[in-house]
């Protein structure tokens, strides 16, 4: 089998000045992609700007013989997203790949989740994916080719206390991923998501906060993996290299990517698919509140479940049950 390459494709990687995004940018560039390295260079909480991280990564890529452009637009505004895509088009003439990776944390107990900690998180993670992908979408439709990778999190898929803003933003990205997969299908555009687990400053800071609970009142960070003790995390941190997440993102960004609308969790080289299942459940055409109480175990039972690919398939499953039952009624 031959190695996978990008044959001059153009990739926009947001939040690529460090952490996971930096690894994505390096891997794509090393395989022939022209890469726009976007990053505002702020703190984990999103404060401040610094063009250093984006410029450094772009320079390092060029030093290794790759093609890269640094960009410091913020993904958190429509103007920022347009400016980023415009820079890619002006320099490279096309955008084939968008990796929505930029992220911040402003953790707080739900009681304390004021607009000040809610809005910036929704703006960067959730709206940021709209603001960057939309300007690139028209070109992808025209060229009948595109790859979009969104970054979700177990905190959104499974929930993590103290992260209602972040969890809601990340879960929202699952809906965006699945919807854009459907809208992009007719145009050769594939849209998928990854839920990474990697030792970056986000995880490092989260672990530090765990070890210093008195500092947890600070809104910056809460554990990425709240159920796992710091000791257990520490035993594995040297295995959680961000570079081991990059191959999955790179494959989803490649022409050969066989799927769209899917979510993969990846860390330390372990890759799995997350999916949304529907239990077989319980049906009663004269359903009462007491029926729900009395059949709750059956409703929740996971032994027989399906994974509907879209709302049509889910409704078809419902109609099958209703039809089957009425035939026998």
Considering only residues 224, 248, 249, 263, which one is a binding residue for ligand NAI as defined by CB under 6 A? 224
**Nearer Cβ to ligand NAI, position 273 or 325?**
273
What's the burial of 273, exposed, middle or buried (CB within 10 Å: 0-12/13-18/19+)? Answer: exposed
Stretch that binds ligand NAI, among 70-78, 89-97, 277-285, 314-322 (CB under 6 A): 70-78
Binding residue for ligand NAI, selected from 19, 45, 139, 172, defined by CB under 6 A: 19
Q: Toward ligand NAI, which CB reaches closer, 74 or 165?
A: 74
d(CA 176, CA 248): 19
Residue 265's DSSP bridge partners are: 195, 272
44 binds ligand NAI (CB under 6 A): yes
Q: What is the largest CA-CA distance in the chain?
A: 74
Residue 101 binds ligand NAI (CB under 6 A): yes
What pairing do the DSSP bridges indicate for beta strands 97-100 and 67-71?
Answer: unpaired
CA angle 147, 152, 153 (to 5 degrees): 150
177 contacts ligand NAI (rule: CB under 6 A): no
Examine residue 38 and tell whether it contacts ligand NAI (CB under 6 A). Answer: yes
Which is nearest to 191 in space by CA: 138, 153, 150? 150
Q: Return the SS3 of 175.
A: helix
Could you tell me which of 249, 124, 143, 251 has the C-alpha nearest to residue 194? 249
**Binding test (CB under 6 A) with ligand NAI, winner from 61, 69, 97, 124:** 124
- Residue 173 found at the interface with ligand NAI (CB under 6 A): no
Residues at the contact surface with ligand NAI, assessed by CB under 6 A: 14-15, 17-21, 38-42, 44, 46, 53, 74-76, 101-104, 124, 151, 153, 196-198, 200-203, 224
Residues labelled catalytic:
166
């Amino acid at each position: 089998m031959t190695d996978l390459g990008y044959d001059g494709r153009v990739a926009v990687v947001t939040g690529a000045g460090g952490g996971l995004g930096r690894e994505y940018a390096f891997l794509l560039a090393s395989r022939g992609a022209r890469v726009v390295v976007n990053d505002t260079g702020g703190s984990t909480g999103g404060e401040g700007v610094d063009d250093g991280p984006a410029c450094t990564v772009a320079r390092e890529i060029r030093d290794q013989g790759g093609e890269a452009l640094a960009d410091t637009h913020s993904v958190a505004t429509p103007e920022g997203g347009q400016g980023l895509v415009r820079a890619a088009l002006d320099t490279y003439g096309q955008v084939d790949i968008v990796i929505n990776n930029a992220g911040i944390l402003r953790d707080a107990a739900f009681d304390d989740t004021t607009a000040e900690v809610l809005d910036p998180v929704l703006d960067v993670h959730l709206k940021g994916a709209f603001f960057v992908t939309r300007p690139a979408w028209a070109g992808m439709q025209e060229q009948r080719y595109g790859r979009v990778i969104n970054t979700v999190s177990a905190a959104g898929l499974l929930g993590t206390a103290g992260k209602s803003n972040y969890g809601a933003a990340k879960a929202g990205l699952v809906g965006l991923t699945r919807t854009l997969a459907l809208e992009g299908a007719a145009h050769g555009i594939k849209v998928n998501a990854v839920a990474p687990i990697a030792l970056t400053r986000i995880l490092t800071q989260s672990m530090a906060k765990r070890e210093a609970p008195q500092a947890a009142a600070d809104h910056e960070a809460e554990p990425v993996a709240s159920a796992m003790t710091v000791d257990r995390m520490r035993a594995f941190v040297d295995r959680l290299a961000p570079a081991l997440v990059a191959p999955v993102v790179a494959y989803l960004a490649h022409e050969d990517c066989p799927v769209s609308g899917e979510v993969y969790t990846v860390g330390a080289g372990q890759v799995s698919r997350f999916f949304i299942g529907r239990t077989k459940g319980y049906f009663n055409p004269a359903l009462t509140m007491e029926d729900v109480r009395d059949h709750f175990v059956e409703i929740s039972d996971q032994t027989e479940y399906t994974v509907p690919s879209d709302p049509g398939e889910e409704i078809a499953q419902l109609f099958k049950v209703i039809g089957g039952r009425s035939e026998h009624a």
